[in-house]
């Protein structure tokens, strides 16, 4: 009985993904005229259109650009900040830590107009850096929160022993401390990647043509004949792939993050 419920649960979870795949190998007129659990005439026309149209494949490249920049910057900034919160006590540390998290709780729409005005003034509008830096406002607090939990699980005696052995702080941090929290770095990078990859409002507003991401391109599939369901489904399938690859490589680190209570 329990096994059957588990199977039913996973079937329900996988149904939207299967249906997305189903629609991606069918043309829009075929999708609108008949209901098919298994496509009778599958085609890769939708995928071919995406890989041949610069508007589509360049949008994937733009998304990968600003996501990569965001992950590197967010984790790079969060590592020393999380170490400070984990190892030191200073005036207002708890209040400052809470303030960081309130930025993560705020909806992106709150910061939309300030970012738009600022980036338009300094020439960052419609560049990958505009979206990457805007997402840092939300991803840095999340990365600090996750990494602080992992760092607090490392005994302070390791820091003291390394200092007694003559390690400088940069050498200790890179060669001893970072390997001990590599699971936390992987988890933090994963969540930064996922938020930046799927976020739509800032990515669409802060870009126009040159740096338009895939999430913005997917909202512009309406033509004179209506919504192109097949093309949109194919784009959705390709959008899932990077996230699935990242999850596959860090799946064990995510499990450790849940065990530590920070994910």
- The torsion of the CA quartet 231, 237, 241, 243, rounded to 10 degrees, works out to 110
User: Domain 53-260 is of which CATH architecture?
Assistant: Orthogonal Bundle (1.10)
Q: What is the pTM of this model?
A: 0.86
| Domain ranges, ordered by start, for the chain | 1-43, 53-260
pLDDT higher at 261 or 218: 218
- Phi and psi at 223, nearest 5°, equal -120, -170
User: Using an 8 Å Cβ cutoff, are 48 and 27 in contact?
Assistant: no
- Classify 90 as helix, strand or coil: coil
Residue (of 259, 255, 233) closest to 50 by Cα position: 233
Residue 223: its H or E element = strand 222-223
**pLDDT interval class at 23 (50, 70, 90):** very high
Residue (of 86, 68, 72) closest to 180 by Cα position: 86
Round to whole Å and give the CA distance between 136 and 139: 5
pLDDT of residue 260: 58
User: Using an 8 Å Cβ cutoff, are 50 and 231 in contact?
Assistant: yes
pLDDT of residue 242: 86
In this predicted model, what pLDDT tens digit does every residue of 195-204 receive, in sequence order? Answer: 999 888 899 8
């Amino acid at each position: 009985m329990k096994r059957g419920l588990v199977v039913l649960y996973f079937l329900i979870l996988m149904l939207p993904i299967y249906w997305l795949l189903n629609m991606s190998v069918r043309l829009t007129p075929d999708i609108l005229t008949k209901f098919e659990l298994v496509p009778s005439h599958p085609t890769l026309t939708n995928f071919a259109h995406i890989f041949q149209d610069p508007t589509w494949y360049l949008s994937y490249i733009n998304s990968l650009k600003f996501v990569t920049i965001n992950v590197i910057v967010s984790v790079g900034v969060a590592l020393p900040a999380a170490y400070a919160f984990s190892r030191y006590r200073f005036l207002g540390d708890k209040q400052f830590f809470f303030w960081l998290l309130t930025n993560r709780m705020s909806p992106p729409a709150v910061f939309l107009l300030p970012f738009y005005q600022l980036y338009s003034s300094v020439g960052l509008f419609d560049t990958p850096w505009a979206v990457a830096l805007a997402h840092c406002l939300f991803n840095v607090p999340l990365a600090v929160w996750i990494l602080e939990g992992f760092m607090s699980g490392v005994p302070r005696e390791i820091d003291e022993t390394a200092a007694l052995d003559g390690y400088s702080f940069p050498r200790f941090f890179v060669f001893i401390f970072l390997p001990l929290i590599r699971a936390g770095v992987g988890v933090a990078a994963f969540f930064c990647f996922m938020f930046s990859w799927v976020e739509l409002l800032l990515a669409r507003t802060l870009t126009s043509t040159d740096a338009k991401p895939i999430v913005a391109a997917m909202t512009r599939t309406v033509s004179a004949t209506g919504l192109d369901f097949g093309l949109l489904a194919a784009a959705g399938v390709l959008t899932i792939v990077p996230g699935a690859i990242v999850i596959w490589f860090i799946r064990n680190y995510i499990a450790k993050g849940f065990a530590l209570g920070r994910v």
